C-alpha cells in the first residue's frame, strides 16, 4: 500500500495571542484535502510579555495556543517565544528555521492566524506552483483573492498579489532579498513592532530602492518583489476567509470598509491557467497596480492637502479664523 500524497513544501505558521483565530486556522490547516506533512510544518507562537495585548490588558492565552497546536500537530516543530518579538522577528526566525531544516526546499510557505483556509487551499497553491515553476520571475503564489488592484477581487482569474496572506515564496527570492530583510529587521531591534518608527523604516526602505507603500512586514516584502522585478500572484477569487478584524493594521471600521469576502464556491481549475502566456500581462498589471497604490496612499493626498492649504491662505483673515474655529469644533464634538 502506498502512502497518500501530502503537501510537498515546508509551511511556517505565525500565531500570536488570539486563541479564537489560532483555533480556526489550525483546524483549517488540519482539514486540507492535500494534507500537511507535519515533519515540514513549523509553528511560531509569539510571546505575551511586552506585547500589545499585554499593554491593552488582554489575557495571556499563549499556553493554551501551544497546547492546541501540539494536540492537532504533534509531530510539527513548535517554536514558542518567552517574550513578544513581533511579526518581523518571528517571520525571520521561522524563515531561518525552515531553510536550515529543509535545505533542498524550493518553495516555503508563510501563513498567519487571520486567514482561514478552504479545504482545497494547499491543493490549489501546489497546482499554482507547478505551473509557476518554469516562470522564474513568479516568486510568490497564493489563493486568497487579495489582489493588488481591488477591481480584480472576486473575479475569476490570476492577478498580481496585494497582501502576503497564506502565501508561498520561492527560496531563490528569499535568498536574494535576504540583506534587505535583515536591514529592515535591524531597524526594528530597538522597539516593539507595534511601536516601530514608521518614518525611519520608510527612509531605510527607500535607501534600498524599495518604494514604501507601507511599513508593515508584508508590505515591505511586497515592495521587495517590486524592487527585484519579480511577481507575486494570487487567485481573484478567495479560497479561504480573512478574519483579521482584531490586529495591528485593522479595526472594525477599516475591516468593514475593505469589504473582504468569504470563500468562493467556484471550483478552481488549473487547466485554465497558462502562466507563461499570462506573465507579460501580469508584469504590466503589477507595475500599474503598484503605481496606483503609491499615488493613492501618498501622492494624491499630498496634492489634496497642498491645494486645501493654498485655498485656505487665499481666504480673508476673518474667514480663516472662522474656518479654524469650525475645525476645532468638529475635533471637540
Residue-range definition of the domain harbouring residue 57: 1-112
Name the E strands within 144-191: 158-160, 167-170
Task: Confirm whether 320 is domain-assigned.
Answer: yes
Looking at residue 93, its pLDDT comes to 94
pLDDT at residue 48 tops 60: yes
Is there a domain that residue 258 lies in? Answer: no
Report if residue 10 sits inside a domain: yes
Alpha-carbon distances, residue 213 vs 170, 203, 224, 326 (angstroms): 22, 12, 11, 33
- Quote the pTM value: 0.86
Q: Which of 55-64, 214-223, 318-327 has the highest mean pLDDT?
A: 55-64
Cα separation, 65 vs 70, in Å, equals 9
Answer with the residue of higher pLDDT: 140 or 315.
140
Last residue of a domain, one of 84, 112, 140: 112
93 within a domain of the structure (yes/no): yes
Q: How many structural domains does the chain have?
A: 2
Instruction: Report how far apart, in Å, the C-alpha atoms of 99 and of each of 92, 105, 136, 172, 253 are.
Output: 11, 7, 20, 11, 38
pLDDT tens per residue, range 104-122: 999 999 999 999 999 999 9
CATH code where residue 77 lies: 3.40.50
Residue 3 lies in a domain: yes
Out of 89, 112, 135, pick the residue that ends a domain: 112
Is residue 249 in some structural domain? Answer: no
From 83, 112, 141, the end of a domain falls on 112
Residues, the chain: 333
Instruction: Flag whether 6 is in a domain.
Output: yes
Assess contact for 201 and 184: CB atoms under 8 A: yes
The pLDDT score that the predictor gives to residue 32 is 98
**The pLDDT value given to residue 274:** 94
Look at residue 1 in the predicted model and tell me its pLDDT.
40
Report the pLDDT averaged over residues 65-88.
94
DSSP secondary structure of 6-20: ---S-EEEEE-S-HH
Under the banding of pLDDT at 50, 70 and 90, the label for residue 244 is confident
The residues, ordered by sequence, that sit 6+ positions from 261 with a Cβ below 8 Å of its Cβ are: 145, 153, 154, 238
Q: Considering the domain boundaries, does residue 92 fall inside one?
A: yes
Amino acid at each position: 500500500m502506498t502512502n497518500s500524497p501530502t503537501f510537498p513544501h515546508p509551511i511556517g505558521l505565525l500565531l500570536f495571542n488570539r486563541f479564537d483565530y489560532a483555533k480556526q486556522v489550525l483546524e483549517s490547516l488540519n482539514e486540507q484535502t492535500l494534507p500537511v506533512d507535519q515533519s515540514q510544518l513549523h509553528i511560531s507562537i509569539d510571546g505575551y510579555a511586552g506585547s500589545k495585548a499585554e499593554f491593552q490588558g488582554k489575557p495571556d492565552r499563549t499556553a493554551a495556543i501551544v497546547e492546541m497546536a501540539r494536540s492537532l500537530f504533534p509531530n510539527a516543530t513548535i517554536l514558542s517565544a518567552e517574550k513578544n518579538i513581533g511579526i518581523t522577528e518571528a517571520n525571520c526566525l521561522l524563515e531561518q528555521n525552515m531553510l536550515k531544516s529543509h535545505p533542498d526546499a524550493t518553495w516555503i510557505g508563510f501563513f498567519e492566524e487571520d486567514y482561514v483556509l478552504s479545504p482545497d487551499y494547499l491543493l490549489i497553491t501546489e497546482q499554482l506552483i507547478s505551473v509557476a515553476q518554469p516562470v522564474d520571475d513568479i516568486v510568490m503564489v497564493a489563493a486568497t483573492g487579495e489582489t493588488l488592484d481591488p477591481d480584480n477581487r472576486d473575479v475569476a482569474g490570476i492577478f498580481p498579489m496585494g497582501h502576503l496572506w497564506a502565501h508561498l515564496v520561492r527560496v531563490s527570492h528569499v535568498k536574494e532579498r535576504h540583506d534587505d530583510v535583515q536591514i529592515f529587521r535591524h531597524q526594528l531591534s530597538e522597539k516593539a513592532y507595534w511601536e516601530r518608527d514608521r518614518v525611519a523604516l520608510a527612509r531605510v526602505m527607500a535607501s534600498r530602492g524599495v518604494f514604501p507603500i507601507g511599513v508593515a512586514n508584508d508590505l515591505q516584502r511586497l515592495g521587495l518583489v517590486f524592487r527585484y522585478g519579480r511577481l507575486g500572484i494570487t487567485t481573484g477569487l478567495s479560497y479561504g476567509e480573512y478574519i483579521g478584524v482584531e490586529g495591528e493594521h485593522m479595526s472594525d471600521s477599516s475591516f468593514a470598509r475593505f469589504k473582504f469576502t468569504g470563500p468562493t464556491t467556484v471550483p478552481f481549475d488549473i487547466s485554465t491557467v497558462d502562466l507563461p502566456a499570462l506573465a507579460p500581462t501580469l508584469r504590466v498589471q503589477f507595475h500599474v497596480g503598484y503605481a496606483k497604490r503609491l499615488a493613492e496612499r501618498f501622492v494624491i493626498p499630498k496634492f489634496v492637502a497642498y491645494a486645501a492649504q493654498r485655498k485656505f491662505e487665499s481666504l480673508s483673515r476673518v474667514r480663516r479664523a472662522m474656518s479654524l474655529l469650525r475645525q476645532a469644533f468638529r475635533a471637540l464634538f
